[in-house]
Structure 1
Amino acid sequence: MAPLQETRSLLAATAPHIVRSTTTAVLARRALTVNDTQKVTLGVIAAYTVAIALLWNIPYVRWSLWPFKMLVIAFHEFGHAITCVLTGGRVKSISLDPREGGVTHMQGGRNAITLPSGYLGSSLIGALLIFCGFNIVASKVASIVVGVCFLLTLWWGRRDWLTIMTILLAVGLLVGCWFIAQAEALRYVILFIGVMSSLYSVWDICDDLILRKVNSSDASVFAQRYGGSSQCWGVIWSIISLLFMVGGILAGIAAFPQDREQQRTDSGNFLPSPGKF
């Protein structure tokens, strides 16, 4: 009998309670449990999803979302831009428009990667923000990264007043939330942006390709160059986006079991705010 098996047999015979306790502890660590704080977070995510879906489709009322829609469009264009740079291309300019969406003018790069990276990039960023939204300290880190992404977009962007004001207001909102309840408010802002960014590709693809059947989308250009239909690629990208979102939620539950008070304590010890309200 192997030494490891002999040890297990000896333990089982002389101290069965130790074996049972050890096994229970291992299984408990592997189980994906949800505590009260995480239940609240999941409820907030569900409420955000319903609210955004309603506001997105109600005429006139949908304009209440335009600042956040502009942020998500910025993520979309940043996805195009960063993959263009990483695949050897050059970004000429980025422009954002709440009515027409955004456009990234690029030179070079690999189109097979840069074309889907707008929708999938914004969805991946959204999933990461949802993941970080389960914890205040993680939300602080995420807000710094998001702020840098916004400033890079501003650097690349066509410097019209709408693009500049949207990005500066977004950065100001993130900074302001650091001062509210040990940055707890920041967590819910990061969650909101994450949910909207994760589902943006789903709603926008349905709006463009299914309801309005717009031909000048990323999916239609991808279909023209690499085959298939724009609707087919749109559905595939939407499914991937939803999988990203589910992955972000599950990872957040697994990684951040801290309750609300523990999170606020941890936040006070990590880049603490000069003051609080």
Structure 2
Amino acid sequence: MAPTSPPPPTWATLGRATVLTLTPHLLPRDHSVISKRALAVTDAQKVTLGVIAAYVVGIAILWNVPYIRWILWPFKMLVIAFHEFGHAITCVLTGGKVKSISLDPREGGVTHMQGGRSGLTLPAGYLGSSLIGALLTFAGFNINASKVASIVIGVAFLMTVWWGRRDWLTVGTVAAAVGLLVGCWFIRGAEALRFVVLFIGVMSSLYSVWDICDDLILRKVNSSDASVFAKRYGGSSQCWGVIWSVISLCFMAAGIVAGIAAFPQSAEQQREDAQKFIPTRF
């Protein structure tokens, strides 16, 4: 007996609406094909994920080993600038006013604010820096996205310098960071910029988690954003610290997954695309 072909789709008219009826033979057997393809990891993305893993291990080692931990000091100060920017921009967005921002050489910072909603401004330091880290990690999967991210960072830094213009360490940290980003634009068509943006993103994401753990779980520092939040809104500083740490890790994971889904281009494709968007050669 000759094989029979599946029946063709049939049309039915309901009032003014025309409905197409498909037979089971015409329906896709695997409804998750599209989602699986969207999250398929390319060779270039495998390299990026390997770099992220190396960054995590390297930062963890440098963070805890005496003396050589000072290698991370410039980047710690940069992430603290993100932390204080999170406080400041949230204060402005909630109707407050930022008086000043200052960074401490002993890896601290303070933002003097007036007004705003403290329920949002207090966690905005940790969560803001971790969100920035997640966005930078996302951008670090692609050269052009890293270019855009560096421009956005530059604008945020200008705002930070304006608020912290009386503090030499704030100005110096921001100026050094801007100089590093600008310089990377001219290394291999800005390919180096991608890995610098990726490092800053991973550092910013992890700093929030480790700083919360150091201050609230290991050293139990009384004066912190979480302790002030707990006094005003209830709960314990350790509890809020754990919650904010989990949210920070979720931000980082989301940035990685989004980067895999959004940037499937090969390394060669990225280099070609980079020469069409604000091209730079050295």
Please say whether Structure 1 and Structure 2 have the same fold, judged by a TM-score greater than 0.5.
Answer: yes
| Post-superposition offset of 1:161 | 2.4
Larger Rg: 2
2:267 to 260, 267, 271: 260
Rounded Cα–Cα distance in structure 2 between residues aligned with 1:61 and 1:211: 21
Letter in 1 for 2:147: K
- Structure 1: gaps (5+ residues): none
Taking the TM superposition and a 5 Å limit, the aligned residue runs for 1:155-234 are 155-234=162-241
2:149 to 142, 145, 167: 142
Q: Deviations over 1:184-240 (max 9, x none)?
A: 100000000000111111100111112211111100000011111000000000000
Query: Aligned in 2, Cα 1:119/1:257: closer, same or farther, shift over 3 Å?
Result: same
| Post-superposition offset of 1:29 | 2.9
1:245 match? 252
TM-score w.r.t. length of structure 2: 0.90
Q: Check if 1:61 corresponds to 2:75.
A: no
Q: Check if 1:30 corresponds to 2:44.
A: no
Of residues 113-122 and 61-70 in structure 1, the stretch that sits farther from structure 2 once superposed is: 61-70
Rounded Cα–Cα distance in structure 1 between residues aligned with 2:11 and 2:125: 55
Q: Check if 1:83 corresponds to 2:90.
A: yes
Rounded Cα–Cα distance in structure 2 between residues aligned with 1:121 and 1:100: 17
2:22 match? 8
Q: Check if 1:127 corresponds to 2:134.
A: yes
Rounded Cα–Cα distance in structure 2 between residues aligned with 1:100 and 1:126: 18
Rounded Cα–Cα distance in structure 1 between residues aligned with 2:126 and 2:169: 22
Say which SS state the counterpart of residue 196 (structure 2) adopts: helix
| Post-superposition offset of 1:75 | 0.5
Percent pairwise identity: 75
Query: Aligned in 2, Cα 1:2/1:101: closer, same or farther, shift over 3 Å?
Result: farther
CA contact (8 A) 1:69 1:98 kept: no
| Post-superposition offset of 1:182 | 1.2
Rounded Cα–Cα distance in structure 2 between residues aligned with 1:168 and 1:142: 17
Letter in 2 for 1:45: I
Query: Aligned in 2, Cα 1:159/1:257: closer, same or farther, shift over 3 Å?
Result: same
Rounded Cα–Cα distance in structure 2 between residues aligned with 1:218 and 1:116: 7
- Structure with bigger helix share is 1
1:42 match? 49
1:236 match? 243
Q: Check if 1:152 corresponds to 2:166.
A: no
| Equivalent residues, number | 266
TM-score w.r.t. length of structure 1: 0.91
Structural RMSD (CA): 1.8
Letter in 1 for 2:261: A
Q: Check if 1:109 corresponds to 2:116.
A: yes
